[in-house]
Amino acid sequence: MQVFFESRRELAPTIWEDSFRPERRVDFVPGQYVSLALPGVAADPRGSSRTFTMVSLPEDPYLQFVVKHPDKQSAYKEVLETLKPNDPASITDAMGDVILPKMADIPLVFVAG
């Protein structure tokens, strides 16, 4: 699906929130992810796409991703950092099943490493 870069907002040093406007509503549940492909990525050994978890809500008009931009970054992130409003990109369908259960009364434990 085609998406269009909308805006970028700094959340913390080297941490940015990028917003994209999809051509149509994206069907996903919180916790799922997409692959974001950028045109014009050259000489990046990992290719022209990366996988990002959506941090926006399904009903939001924009898809948002939080991205770390270190001092030394890949060709992919260099292109991502220079996107201008309305620049095109593409995403895959939402994937992933590491999502919260529909029944809110189920106890959960989260462990991070």
CA distance 67 to 1: 20
Residue 2 pLDDT greater than 90, yes or no = yes
CB 52 within 8 A of CB 26: no
Q: In the predicted model, what is the mean pLDDT of residues 76-90?
A: 96
Q: In the predicted model, what is the mean pLDDT of residues 69-74?
A: 89
CA 79, 81, 82, 88 torsion-angle sign = positive
Q: How far is CA 68 from the centre of its chain?
A: 11
CA distance 104 to 17: 28
CB 65 within 8 A of CB 52: yes
pTM here? 0.85
